[in-house]
Amino acid sequence: MGVVQDEELQEEFDVFGINLNEQLIDKLKELCITYNLDADRVADEWLAFSKARKDIPISLENLDLFDREKLAKKTQRTPQTPLNKRTQQKVYNINNVSEGVDISDAENLYNTYGGTPSSKGTAAQKRQLTPDNPTIKRFQNSTRSPAVPFSPASFSPVGATPSKKYNSRTNAGDVIASIGNVDNAKWSGSGNKCAIKLHDPMENMSPEEKDSVKDLCQDFKYMFQKLTDKAAVLNEMIDEMATQLQEKHSIEEFSHVALPVQEEVTLVGRICCDSLGKMNAKSVILEGSRDTSAGRSVPLDLSDLKQYSLFPGQIVAMDGINTSGQKFVVKKLYEGVVQSLPSCSNDKDQISSNDMTVLIAAGPFSTSDNLSFEPLADLVKHIRKDKPDVVILMGPFVDLKNDLIENGKCITPFDDIFKTKLKEISDVASNDCQVIVLPSYRDVHHDYVYPQPPFFHQSQNSRMKAKTDYPNVHFMPDPCVVDINNVIFGLTSSDVMFQLGAEEISFNPPGASDRMARLAEHLLTQQNFYPLYPSPEDVNIDYEVFEYYARMPCTPHVLVLPSDLKQFTKDIQGCCCINPGRLARGQAGGTFSRVQVRGGAIVSQQSILSSITAQVLRI
């Protein structure tokens, strides 16, 4: 193994919001050399160690402790012995299993019963694994995606930062990321009421078509989808993307994925993994559509590609050769089509002549150790002070991962907690300051499905009462596309960035790809808010509704993707993509975002990024 580079270490730890100074990088490089680790493995091991010791911060002293108590002991447990000698297996009984098995011991236990080892030790071992990491379901948490133990797939980066008490923070107001001309930005509202309109996917449908579509904003029984209906939706997504790829790249026709041919052909289909677990370069298969390939699939050989980024569920086209019908050697990859930016029917339509300010925050709105909602109280103070034109709040509001709720120590009804906090939010709203509210599948008091209906959707009476009780609060589904003064916002509260990052495999030259931008761009090229398939176990997708409500009708001017990953504001294909972070991160304060759109810009199929200024700052 070569020497780990400084940039590799910083990039791996950046994913979890951990900044490394020169001394920490030198110490980590020393550990990598000593224990033959690469950058991602040492990051995984540190995160596991930190989490097990109540989120201790990274420091030279704690790295020494990490060395002595984790890495050194792990080396002692797995000595390098000759192949003809059997290493002693740890004996498990009901007592030490019930006490809680360390995940590395769990793998050993699994291997004792004939499992496949998931060590990254040698290239020969790695080639044997398809996919990379067999799922050990006995030890798989319901909120985790099948992936490497202690990897971003199975570990929340909330705990990777120092768990300081919220009131002791000293960095309130610090700017984390920004885009546009920040110096001349005025963050107070214009005082004029904004026109807010939810994109209705049924707007241009005939009455007959509307009757066959479930209205997400009405009450209906979800998750009763038939497998045939789900398969039809997934197949139609391939067909629609195939048509767009064919037009964009002037492809004559698509071939059958499993047909042996001696010349180069073009295929289209969905990226899948050939087994359970995290996909790797040796386990990628392409599943064709019913029309072009009768639903057949073929393994892919990616060795000839100089660059790629793939994840399960991604719809792609590719040029290559399949001489035997058993494996397709990929020569060129087409990763999707970015739709055009929105335009108005009237060329004279423009953003309001006044500047518009939008404040964006995503839950949880209370620290994990209590339900006092101190971060939300501080955000309300900020709203009262600046009076932005629009406030966008995205769940979870009553977070199922809060310690009190998770441990059953909350005695107040969840609905009462939500309505109390919603009243506080509504009190700061007025004709001059309107609020958009989105739920989250982590909201313990709301429907556990994606796409998710808005709050108070159950009946006409509940919707009318909510409109009366909370004036100037607009309840939207998750995800949704919202028109605010002719500026199109794409909103989703699901952490699709984190889940995509856990499942994606990529091969890029050093420095050639920005990982955060790449993950966000996947949503634009796949034209929907949740392109990952299959989804993790805690995300319940109703594909009959997904077909209409999770698709992007166009590339939005502003795309908001709250995530536990590093916060950012980026220009991606002319779209202003923002990760505002979480308002609370564990027991510490989090971040929120504010956006200013300068008035007077003509809305056409051109980017309006020159008229947008955005910041992410600490609460």
What is the residue-averaged pLDDT of the chain?
81
Residue corresponding to tokens 């038939």: 226
Same domain, 60 and 155: yes
| Same domain as 156, residue 179 | no
Is it true that the peptide bond before 477 is cis, omega within 30 degrees of 0? no
Q: What is the CATH number of the domain that holds 446?
A: 3.60.21.60
Q: Which of 307, 334, 361 is the last residue of a domain?
A: 334
Using the predicted structure, report yes or no on whether residue 114 has a pLDDT greater than 60.
Answer: no
355: which 2 tokens?
């500047």
Q: Which residue, 436, 393, 398, is CA-closest to 562?
A: 393
Asked if 217 contacts 453 with a C-beta cutoff of 8 angstroms, the reply is yes
Q: Do 262 and 401 share a structural domain?
A: no
* pLDDT tens digits along 471-525: 889 999 999 999 998 899 999 999 999 999 989 998 887 767 788 999 999 999 9
Measured distance CA(572)–CA(516) in Å, rounded: 10
| Pairwise CA distance, residues 388 & 195, whole Å | 14
Q: What is the pLDDT of residue 16?
A: 78
pLDDT reported for residue 137: 39
Side by side, the strands of the sheet bearing 480-484 are: 196-198, 480-484, 487-491, 558-560, 575-579, 568-572
- The DSSP string of 525-536 is HHTBS---SSPP
- How much is the pLDDT for 265? 92
Q: Are residues 326 and 246 in the same domain?
A: yes
Q: Is 149 part of a structural domain of the chain?
A: yes
Residue 549, domain member (yes or no): no
Choose the final residue of a domain: 334, 368, 402.
334
| 168 domain-assigned | no
Domain of residue 287, CATH code: 2.40.50.140
Are 405 and 268 in a shared domain? no
Can you tell me the mean pLDDT for 257-275? 90
Residues 487 and 458 grouped into a single domain = yes
pLDDT tens sequence across 189-240: 888 889 999 988 877 777 777 777 777 877 777 888 888 989 999 999 999 9
Residues 152 and 299 in one domain: no
| Residues spanned by the domain of 398 | 175-202+213-217+352-495+564-618
pLDDT at position 107 = 52
Same domain for 55 and 19: yes
Q: How many structural domains does the chain have?
A: 3
Mean pLDDT lowest among 285-299, 454-468, 565-579: 454-468
Residues 79-112 have pLDDT tens digits of 444 434 344 444 444 444 444 444 455 554 444 4
pLDDT at 170 over 80: yes
Same domain, 393 and 317: no
Residue 71: pLDDT band with limits 50, 70, 90: confident
Q: Is residue 500 part of a domain?
A: no
> Does 366 fall in a domain?
yes
Q: Which residues contact 195 (CB under 8 A, 6 or more apart)?
A: 483, 484, 485
What's the rounded mean pLDDT across residues 406-411? 89
Beta-carbon neighbour count of residue 358 at 10 Å?
24
| Confidence check: pLDDT of 261 > 80 | yes
Question: Residue 570: what residue type?
Answer: K
617 strand-pairing partners: 175, 592
User: How many CB atoms lie under 10 A from the CB of residue 232?
Assistant: 15
Last residue of a domain, one of 284, 302, 334: 334
Query: How many residues would you count in the chain?
Result: 619
Residues 583 and 436 in one domain: yes
For residues 303 and 241, state if they share a domain.
yes
Q: Considering the domain boundaries, does residue 550 fall inside one?
A: no
Look at residue 140 in the predicted model and tell me its pLDDT. 43
Measured at the CA of 183, the angle between CA 180 and CA 186, to 5 degrees, comes to 90
Task: Supply the CATH number for residue 127's domain.
Answer: 1.10.8.530
Say if 531 falls within a structural domain.
no
Residues 297 and 360 in one domain: no
- Note whether residue 432 is domain-resident: yes
